[in-house]
Structure 1
Amino acid sequence: MQRLTVSAAVMSNFILGIDVGTTSVKTVLFASDSRTVAASHTLPTAADRSDDGRLKAKEQDTGRIIDALNRCVLQLPADKLQHVSRIGLSGQMHGVIFWKAGSGCDWSSRDFFTPRDTSQLITWQDGRCSSDFLSSLPKPESHLSVATGFGCATIFWYMKHRPEFLDDFTVAGTIQDYVVSMLCGLDRCVMTPQNAASWGFFNTSTSHWNENILKAASFPLHLLPQCVPSGGLAGKTRSAWHGIPAGTPVGAALGDFQCSVYSCMSAPTDAVLNISTSAQLTFAMPADFRPQDFPQPDSPISYFPYFDSSYLAVAASLNGGNILATFVDMLTAWMRELGVELSNSGLYEKLIHCALNQETSDLMVSPTLLGERHSPLCLGQVTNISTSNLSLGHVIRGLCRGVLTNITSMMPAETLQQAGVRRIVGSGSALNRNEVLKQEVEKAFPLQVVYGQNADSAVGVAMVLCDRL
């Protein structure tokens, strides 16, 4: 009996899920029969290049990203990699990388590829497209506005400021699209609506680029990827890859946000609240919902394409755990000026303890230090200050409540209830480690709140392939 069990375990099929994030790469081996994670590994990419302060450029070294990806896959058990039946990728949306068809990588070094004839990755954080520049672009036929860091906006910028740069390349895509293309040996980039919508100038209702609008603006249409359905295949591996056989099916790359939601939204009546560096609150729209074909830049709610032509309603705040981190950094700097040294992690735990002893506070903190996409000039404020609410307990309690007040101002609890939401799934590194934030979540929403189902894009993309292919 034991011998049969071991044999069955060895012969299990695994799905390799990969998330190419902004700061790290994560890989998971997902057992398709038990729907459990058999192994996982995460590595930092350390790929940021020194930015040009004048241009506000944000780029990453493509070679370092792919090197981190190769090393991350190699950390997974070799015997299980031999039984990978499918490969799925998700990653950071909006950004763009350029390469040459047919020569975008080199497979000559054993069983992994290295980039060749590629640009650096211009990330979603890129700020070179000013408000004036964006206002000069044609109006998209899309429900989503175009912002700096979006792939099409970046291409427009190069058209105006460095047109010779584009002459060196024939293909463009997100970093996860590039990996899929290299694994499958594709001559052009294939892209799902999840990533295409994040580039701008893409109509999610028709699943087509705004080609007429772009053509009239002399946009290089040959750089636009071919659109394929979210959850479908892009091709098969052209070569063996770290023990994974050649000919293994590879899914078309998906958005990291959608995959993170897929990993923890177990029912259509769930909403997912993720508080990590930033904060997002989202729920699934009805199957027949279709957004309008023009942007609503002042709306705090956006609609992201999901699966099977459905959409997620998303309140995406720029202000989440980063605000608490900024406060800790500020206190640490103040104490250093006073000759006191204390680690950030140690200080954070002490602050949370202070706030747990302060169950309520009338201190009003609006923590929008970074503004919001729908209201970029709305910065932070502290009001209702008195001599009785100046303790650290009051301040941290007010700060945590402010993070929740901000996200609920974007998507009120009434909106969730009217949409039929019955439960909120709380996730994210900032929320998981902060009991005060959890308390404020439960005060902010008159709904059941559950924890422990952490959003994970690498797991989510594996689950998508397990369910759909």
Structure 2
Amino acid sequence: MELENNSFVLGIDVGTSSVKAVVLEPVTKEVLHSESRDTRAGLESECGAQGKEQDVCQIIRALNNCLTALPSDKLRKVSRIGVSGQMHGVLFWRTNQGCHWINSVNLRVFEPNAVSQLVTWEDGRCTTDFLSSLPRPQSHLNAASGFGCASIFWYLKNRPEFLQQYDAAGTIQDYVVSVLCGLRKPLMSVHNAASWGYFNTRTKTWNTDILQEWGFPIRLLPNVVDAGCIAGKTSYEWCGIPQGTEVGVALGDFQCSVYSSLTNSTDAVLNISTSAQLTFPMPEGFQPEDHPSPTEAVTYFPYFKDRYLAVAASLNGGNVFASFVTMLAQWTADLGLETTDSNIYTRAISAAVSANDTHLTICPTLFGERHSPDSHASVSNLTSAELSLGQVTRALCRGIIENIHSMLPSHQLKQSGIKRIIGSGSALARNAALKQEVEKIFPFPIVYGKDVDSAVGAAMVMVQE
């Protein structure tokens, strides 16, 4: 179905720490307006430090606030909505009670109701031993902690009564689409289904036989459709967006971020934000093999139109540098001195940019890796001559880049026909030392300034359909 004349497309991304919404002009693909809000949704988990959970009410409140900040005259002309969000995670709800619609400042918004907390992609409750006890998926993607199906298996073993409360499950973006369209049974794109595990991307079906044999509550699994499909139409007016507006099935934030910036098949995208990803598109017709080695660092994510992305997805990126800054701030406070995290961040980067080269080596896998969940960070080659702030910061930046390069090395990129790398992400944009290390380690032209944006990508997908 074609877009209406003089209409706009709304793109939404429900991220790990913030939500973003953009209004896109569909012909020029120009972003006319953009708003973002921090969710501040983190919660203490019953699993302690290993658990990573978020308050769904807080996320939706931020989303509603984000939309109401956009120009009302543009929202009234929105004819299609694209939605992306953080992958792998899971929340549960009751389809007949999952939200209620209210009037807020003369605008119609929805609030979650009968909804669980969101178990995010960062969740670590599924230990290596627990994962090894689960059935082997019929899929080219291994299950990992933080993956939706793995988390459901954890509840099945540890809190089976919890699952009895709900009749639907999905990612946070699936929930948003389900509520907007009033779906009786949630829909999920191939993007998000693959990110949950126990999904075969060739047949586009869940591993129902395997799951049923192990007592998995398959009633909770959404129906799966191709990425880019229309999930339905808005059941109510929402923040001034007309009732009856088309809504696309929720997409993966990673795929949408790549879609927003990738223009040539010979480009790779290196994105360093909270985590880090290096990816490039596989040729048309490529099909990944089932049952990869659990230690394989490169995985293949479904993209659009039955294509795949080769992906080295590291759990260690800007979050490692942020932990380093937090450590320095704590040391400073312990010494009775006062400064801000932002001041430490700025001074550490400045010192690293001007520092002499160092033999100090930092392995930055503070948060483990999916292909090596038990790995830890380490420091080696310490000498008394290489302990300055600049040298340590430089070594940390190098370690972050070397880690992602070890997962998808330059020779493999060259063999795949890659000619240049598009560098993007908030951590890379803010950290000149990281950029320097990228340019040292990767023997390709590096292009900056074409930043990835999942909300923009989600809107662009809706323009194409």
Match of 2:161, SS state, is helix
Which of 157, 166, 169 is equivalent to 2:166? 169
Contact 2:260–2:456 (CA<8 Å) still a contact in 1?
yes
Structure 1: tracts of 5 or more residues without a match: 1-10
- 1:310 paired residue number: 307
Task: Check if 1:384 corresponds to 2:381.
Answer: yes
Q: Which residue of 1 aligns with 2:98?
A: 104
Correspondence for 1:461? 458
Alignment correspondent of 1:331? 328
Could you tell me which residue of structure 1 aligns to residue 150 of structure 2? 153
1:260–1:455 CA contact under 8 A, matched in 2: yes
Match of 1:127 in 2: 124
Change in 2 beyond 3 A, CA 1:59/1:396: closer
Q: 1:67 aligns with which of 55, 61, 82?
A: 61
Q: Which runs of 5+ in 2 are unaligned?
A: none
Aligned-partner residue type, residue 77 of structure 1: P
Aligned to 1:298: 295
Residue 5 of structure 1 corresponds to which residue in structure 2?
A: none
Which residue number corresponds to residue 196 of structure 1? 193
Task: Look up the equivalent residue of 2:431 and give its one-letter code.
Answer: N
- State the alpha-carbon separation in 1 of the partners of residues 9 and 452 from structure 2: 18
Match of 1:223 in 2: 220
- Residues 47 and 125 in structure 2, CA contact (< 8 A), matched pair in contact too: no
Query: Aligned-pair distance for 1:132?
Result: 2.4
Tell me the alpha carbon deviations over residues 112-157 of structure 1, each in whole angstroms, 9 at most, x when there is no partner: 2222222222222223323222222111101111122211122222
* Correspondence 1:23-34 to 2 at 5 A: 23-34=17-28
CA distance in 1, matches of 2:167, 2:382: 58
Alignment counterpart, residue 35 of structure 1, candidates 2, 9, 29: 29
Residue of structure 1 equivalent to 2:282: 285
Change (3 A) 1:210 1:55: farther
Contact kept, 8 Å, 1:121 with 1:175, in 2: the verdict is yes
User: 1:288-307, CA deviations, whole angstroms, 9 ceiling, x for partnerless residues?
Assistant: 11111214210111111111
TM-score (norm 2): 0.95
The answer to whether the aligner puts 1:180 opposite 2:174 as a matched pair is no
Alpha carbons of structure 1 residues 108 and 394: separation in structure 2 relative to 1, 3 Å: closer
For residues 45 and 205 of structure 2, the distance between their equivalents in structure 1, rounded to whole angstroms, comes to 33
Structure 2 counterpart of 1:355, which letter?
A
- Is 2:416 aligned against 1:422? no
Letter in 1 for 2:27: D
Q: Mark the CA change 1:317 to 1:108 in structure 2 (over 3 Å): closer, same or farther.
A: closer
Query: 1:384–1:156: structure 2 CA closer, same or farther, 3 Å change rule?
Result: closer
With over 3 angstroms needed to count, the CA separation of the structure-2 counterparts of 1:394 and 1:30, relative to structure 1, is same
**How far apart, CA to CA, are the structure 2 residues paired with 1:55 and 1:432?**
30
Q: Following TM superposition, by how much is the alpha carbon of 1:437 offset from its aligned partner in structure 2, in angstroms?
A: 1.1
Q: Deviations over 1:266-319 (max 9, x none)?
A: 211110111112211111111111111214210111111111111111111122
Cα distance in 2 for residues equivalent to 1:58 and 1:383: 30
| Pair 1:168–1:265, CA change in 2 (3 A) | same
Indicate how the Cα distance of structure 1 residues 154 and 323 shifts in structure 2: closer, same or farther if over 3 A, else same.
closer
Shifted more, 63-72 versus 105-114: the winner is 105-114
Distance of aligned partners of 1:399 and 1:61 in 2 relative to their CA distance in 1, 3 Å threshold: closer
Task: Note if contact 1:12-1:33 (Cα within 8 Å) is conserved in structure 2.
Answer: no
Task: Tell me if structure 2 keeps the 8 A contact 1:28–1:458.
Answer: yes
Aligned identity (percent) is 56
TM-score under structure 1 length normalisation: 0.94
Aligned pairs for 1:405-420 within 5 A: 405-420=402-417
Greater shift after overlay, 226-235 or 359-368? 359-368
Q: Distance in 2 between matches of 1:213 and 1:337?
A: 53
Matching residue of 1:214: 211
Residue 325 of structure 1 aligns to which amino acid in structure 2? A
Cα distance, 1:108–1:336 mapped onto 2, change above 3 Å: closer
**Is the 1:13–1:33 Cα contact (8 Å) retained in structure 2?**
no
Contact kept in structure 2, 1:352 and 1:436, CA below 8 Å: yes
Q: Which moved more, 1:331-340 or 1:248-257?
A: 331-340
Given that 2:128 and 2:373 are in contact with CA atoms closer than 8 Å, whether structure 1 keeps it comes out as no
Partner-residue secondary structure (3-state), 2:57: helix
Deviation at 1:391, TM superposition (A): 2.3
Q: 1:276, 1:430 within 8 Å by CA — same for their partners in 2?
A: yes
Partner of 1:45: 39
Asked whether the equivalents of residues 298 and 408 of structure 2 are also in contact (C-alpha less than 8 Å), the reply is yes
Count of aligned pairs: 459
Q: Provide Cα deviations, 1:49-104, integer angstroms capped at 9, x if missing partner.
A: 22224584332222222121111111100000011010011011111122222332
Asked whether the equivalents of residues 143 and 296 of structure 1 are also in contact (C-alpha less than 8 Å), the reply is no
| 1:399 correspondence with 2:393 | no
Q: Secondary structure at the match of 1:336?
A: helix
Distance (Å, rounded) in 2 between the aligned partners of 1:127 and 1:394: 32
User: C-alpha separation between the residues in 1 aligned to 2:240 and 2:48?
Assistant: 45
2:362 and 2:117 mapped to 1: Cα distance? 40
Q: Does 1:268 align with 2:265?
A: yes
| The 10-residue stretch of structure 1 (184-193 or 217-226) with the greater mean CA deviation from structure 2 | 217-226
Determine if contact 1:90/1:256 at 8 Å carries over to the other structure: yes
Secondary structure of 2:109's match?
A: coil
> In structure 1, what is the Cα distance between the partners aligned to 2:398 and 2:124?
30
Residues 437/185 of structure 1: CA separation in 2 closer, same or farther (3 Å cut): same
Q: Does structure 2 retain, via aligned residues, the 8 Å contact 1:144–1:295?
A: yes
What's the CA shift for 1:28? 0.7
One-letter code aligned to 1:272: V
RMSD: 1.8
1:351-390 mapped onto 2 (5 Å cutoff): 351-390=348-387
User: Secondary structure of the equivalent of 2:451?
Assistant: coil
